[in-house]
Amino acid sequence: MSYETILYEVSEGIATITINRPNVMNALNLQVLRDVLAAVDAARADDAVKVVVVTGAGKAFVAGADISLMKDFGTRDGLAFGDLGHRVMAALEGLDKPVIAAVNGFALGGGTELALGCDFVYASSKAKFGQPEVNLGIIPGFGGTQRLARSVGMNKARELIYTAEIIGADEAKRIGLVSDVFEPEELMAKVRDKAKLVAGKGLVAVAAAKRVMNKGVDLSLDAALELEKQAFCALFGSKDQKEGMAAFVEKRPPKFEGR
């Protein structure tokens, strides 16, 4: 499948989605969102894909939504744009495969929201994060008001959104938005190493863990624990569980099939 605004490649079980509008700092417009949504669908349908990495071309991850597009929006246009953005983030969260953000530069507005839609985030030391939408008279519209608070806590999320402050990679790591920070020239190699590590695990179990963690976070503790218990026992019907435990007993590396 061909894409207008992204690059999509699969290698060693890793699908890499690269936002490819470097001349405008990879700003998100309708076509970018449609292309990312299509790429997530392609990764979902491809059994060769074990892990997905999302990154940006050039000096930016995503420097925000395309303001030249949004400046003439009315409320209906805003609703359609916001709805498409929410569909993309929901697709990343709902994908039954791990998704890693490799933030190579500016991740502002929709860029921070795109990173938040991924399972975890690694950043270049030159990366910048922020939700500066109030500078434009709007608020985050692709899930930032909700996912940022769940990632860094309500008080810090309020501060970042109300002040429109831009923070560096080290501060993003300190507050829990970023898992680790690497030098720019090392970022993609480090991310691929981590992706390969995840890809070698029992991915039926990884998918179950992702589903339970995402759904359980908004439930009561009792309901979330019940969700975990049901997923835990269901995995004993998988081939991966049989292989993983047999390999452990036999002191050999497991050969998971993802079933």
Strand partners, 16: 9, 53
Angle between helices 203-216 and 239-249 (to 10 degrees): 120
Estimate to the nearest angstrom the gap between the alpha carbon of 157 and the chain centroid. 18
Q: Does 12 participate in catalysis according to the annotation?
A: no
24 vs 190: CA distance, rounded Å: 26
Q: In what order do the strands lie in the sheet with 128-130?
A: 60-62, 106-108, 128-130, 167-168
Q: Which of 113, 185, 226, 250 is catalytic?
A: 113
Estimate to the nearest angstrom the gap between the alpha carbon of 90 and the chain centroid. 10
Quick one: tokens of 44?
């979902």
Quick one: tokens of 31?
């076509």
Which contacts qualify for 87-91: CB closer than 8 Å, 24 or more apart? 87/33, 87/37, 88/33, 88/36, 88/37, 88/40, 88/114, 88/117, 88/142, 89/113, 89/114, 89/116, 89/117, 89/142, 89/143, 89/147, 90/117, 91/37, 91/40, 91/41
- Is 124 in contact with 169 (CB distance < 8 Å)? yes
Task: Identify the burial level of 7 via C-beta atoms within 10 angstroms of its C-beta, where 0-12 means exposed, 13-18 middle and 19 or more buried.
Answer: middle
Q: Does 185 participate in catalysis according to the annotation?
A: no
Q: Active-site residue numbers?
A: 113, 133
